[in-house]
Homo-oligomer: A and B are copies of this chain.
Amino acid sequence: MDAYTELLSFARETQALGEVAGRLGWDQETMMPEGATPQRAEEHAAMAKVLHARHIDPRVGEWLAVAEAKDPVAAANLRHIRRSFERNSKVPADLAAALAKTTSLAHRVWAQARADEDVAAFLPLLEEVVALRIAEAQAVAGDADPYDALLDDYEPEASGAGIAAIFDRMRPRLVALRQAILEKPAPSALSGTFDEDGQLRLSEELARAFGYDTAHGRIDKAVHPFSSGSGLDVRITTRTSLTDPFNCFYSTIHEVGHAAYEQGIDRAHLLTPLGSGVSMGVHESQSRIYENQLGRGRAFTGWLFERMKDTFGDFGIADADAFYATVNRVSDGFIRTEADEVQYNLHIMLRFDLERALISGDLLVRDLEAAWNDRFKSDFGYAVDKPSNGVLQDVHWSEGLFGYFPTYSLGNVYAGCLNSAMRAELSGLDDDLARGDTSRATGWLRENVQQFGGLRTPMDTIAHATGSLPSEEPLLQYLEEKFGRIYQL
């Protein structure tokens, strides 16, 4: 066997073990008996240790030194393996261990602090997490920007400065759009209750309508919906809320977007480094375009309105236009995950600016809550009322995930670009969507984005699909036009 073949075979086993570890996480959120928690922590830790040892295995370095790429697939595989090996090898073992231990502890302390509305109880550990992540970022980045080194884990090629430039152009237009909308009368919200069996049945129908393949996946309930797995076993979860069926339906469609990406990758890449989504941003572009540009569009909501009436009977919304406005209702709220398309990115920009300042040292952890509250007031016009609605609301920082938040908005930006290119190419698409038929849209995304997995870089993936480098302009135009029409701005 030549070095490349040996290396790929090793990487394939690593990938298979990664799938096992991922499914352990799925099990924990869906199936695990509650009393199993302490044992599960040891199982997770043991798997993480096995995977870490493989990621820095010296044989990988030896194979990389002599492996030759005979084709673009091999070149892409080598690029991914080299990136991961070099990144992981730069982090000293004791730092990696300290990070694993501290984030595991910080996660528990964060959950308790959030429940207790007690920021002070969380800050000492958050300080440790930030210090460790800065140390890690410096070890990886050398002389380069440490934040970029963190970002690189989730969105290769992106830079903090590049994202800041995009966000700085987006923010004033989104703030202005939000203000214009909130001066208008609000569409009616849903009222009444919607039985949970009906929600789950319709949720399954939506998953099928968006092309989710249950021969290679399954749908279960979880407190926080997620998608997990790659290749032939890609599972999604959803949740129900008696008074808010949209939470169920759009969680499902969102997760189907993620899952469709994994399920849509060329099977030739199964269990290789090319066999899963190339970056968080591109992943999120799929979940967002399924959820928003397709799922929350006027055409598809017309079909959904009828299916909801079939399922739940009359629920007090007069017609499909009113339903469309209700689905896309913009209202005040503190919580990122509950935000509408207009306000969502403002939540992200707040987090991005704060975490970048934390990593650069310009902001100290002890000043984080005040900085959060000031910025929130400035963008949203009202004050945070309690920490669980503010600085303690998200899990990410407690787990050491710095550099992750901006990928959500990059996903929205990419989705805007993809939607624009797709609409230009597929005429009459809304006629399909009005019948609940997403196949041409999802087929276009599969053909132009999903199938490539890790073969192309994130930027190349979007550029090849759209014919140009990503820009925030299509997303902003889409939002201004869509909400301008709904709210008659």
Contacts and interface: CB of A to CB of B under 8 A. Distances in A.
A31 B214 CA distance: 12
A270 B27 contact: no
Contacts of A217: 33
A34 B216 CA distance: 7
A248 to B, nearest CB: 21
Contact of A12 (B34, B36, B42): B42
Contacts of A458: none
Chain copies in the assembly? 2
Nearest to A263: B35
A232 B13 contact: no
B13 A233 contact: no
A39 B215 contact: no
A40 B38 CA distance: 26
B46 A17 contact: yes
A215 B43 contact: no
6 contacts: A13-B42, A17-B43, A17-B47, A19-B39, A33-B235, A38-B232
A419 B216 CA distance: 47
A23 interface: yes
Contacts of A27: 23, 27
A417 interface: no
Given A23-B24, A27-B23, A232 B46 contact: no
A214 B23 contact: no
Contacts of A33: 214-218, 232-233, 235
Given A20-B24, A214-B33, A233-B32, A271 B13 contact: no
A93 interface: no
A13 B46 contact: yes
Contacts of A34: 215
A231 interface: yes
A81 to B, nearest CB: 17
A13 B216 contact: no
Contacts of A19: 39, 43
Contact of A232 (B36, B214, B215): B36
Interface in A30-85: 31-40, 42-43, 45-47, 49-50
A320 B388 CA distance: 60
A35 B270 contact: no
A100 to B, nearest CB: 14
Which 6 A/B pairs are nearest by Cβ-Cβ distance? Answer: A36-B233, A35-B215, A16-B46, A39-B232, A35-B216, A13-B46
A17 B50 contact: yes
A43 B19 CA distance: 7
A46 B18 CA distance: 10
A43 B214 CA distance: 20
A27 B233 CA distance: 12
A296 to B, nearest CB: 28
Contacts of A40: 232-233
A360 to B, nearest CB: 38
Most B-side CB within 10 Å, residue of A34, A217, A231, A232: A232
Nearest to A218: B33
Given A12-B42, A40-B233, A47 B20 contact: yes
